[in-house]
Structure 1
Amino acid sequence: MSAEFDIAETLDVKGASCPMPVVKTKSAIDDLSEDAVLEVLATDAGSMSDIDGWASGTEGVELLDQEEGDDVYRHYVRKTE
């Protein structure tokens, strides 16, 4: 199963552990235009809760979806402002 979003950029943080997936996601989302969707590929299981918590507490971003499969966690984050 794969999310259907118009992905502007894919960020590969596979192999990185906390807090780097969130740090790199924030940096990448800052460079995108409003309404752009960032796909984040991670191998750290903690990224599921870390990116969710970061997006929930951060104005200007929205976590659209998260998927787990084949040892890769996919996160879809939209820049809202």
Structure 2
Amino acid sequence: MSETVLDVKGLSCPLPVLKANRALRGMRPGDRLRVVATDRASVADFQAFCRETGHALIAFGEDAGVLSFVIRRRPEQAPATDPGS
């Protein structure tokens, strides 16, 4: 499992979440993405994003006005099965 850092300081909603989503798509299940941001709206945005996508928001905090979020990429979803087969 690896951790990638994504610096989106200075960007406003919705760009931090959009850039994080793009980064997560290129990662393996279980990999971690650390996002550093300055937009206060990112707190609610990343909570909602993780809740809706199944990624895990495993930590977040603030230091000197810089927010940090650690997101673990969700496991691959199993292919849907046809109940009629």
Letter of the 1:77 partner, please give it.
Answer: I
For residues 52 and 40 of structure 2, the distance between their equivalents in structure 1, rounded to whole angstroms, comes to 20
Structure label with greater radius of gyration: 2
Aligned counterpart, 2:79 = none
User: In the alignment, is residue 71 of structure 1 matched against residue 59 of structure 2?
Assistant: no
TM-score when scaled to structure 1? 0.87
Identity of aligned residues (%): 32
Q: Give deviations 1:11-69, integer Å, cap 9, x for gaps.
A: 0000000000000010001111111000000000110110111101113x111011011
Task: Show structure 1 runs of 5+ residues with no match.
Answer: 1-5
Give the 3 Å change call, closer, same or farther, for CA 67–7 of structure 1 in structure 2: farther
Give the total of aligned pairs. 75
Bigger proportion of residues as strand: 1
Which of 20, 26, 34 is equivalent to 2:21?
26
For residues 39 and 19 of structure 1, the distance between their equivalents in structure 2, rounded to whole angstroms, comes to 17
Alignment of 1:1-81 (within 5 A): 8-59=3-54, 61-81=55-75
CA RMSD of aligned residues (A): 1.2
For residues 7 and 33 of structure 1, the distance between their equivalents in structure 2, rounded to whole angstroms, comes to 9
Task: Show structure 2 runs of 5+ residues with no match.
Answer: 76-85
SS at 2:67's partner residue?
strand
TM-score when scaled to structure 2? 0.83
For residues 74 and 17 of structure 2, the distance between their equivalents in structure 1, rounded to whole angstroms, comes to 17
Aligned counterpart, 1:3 = none
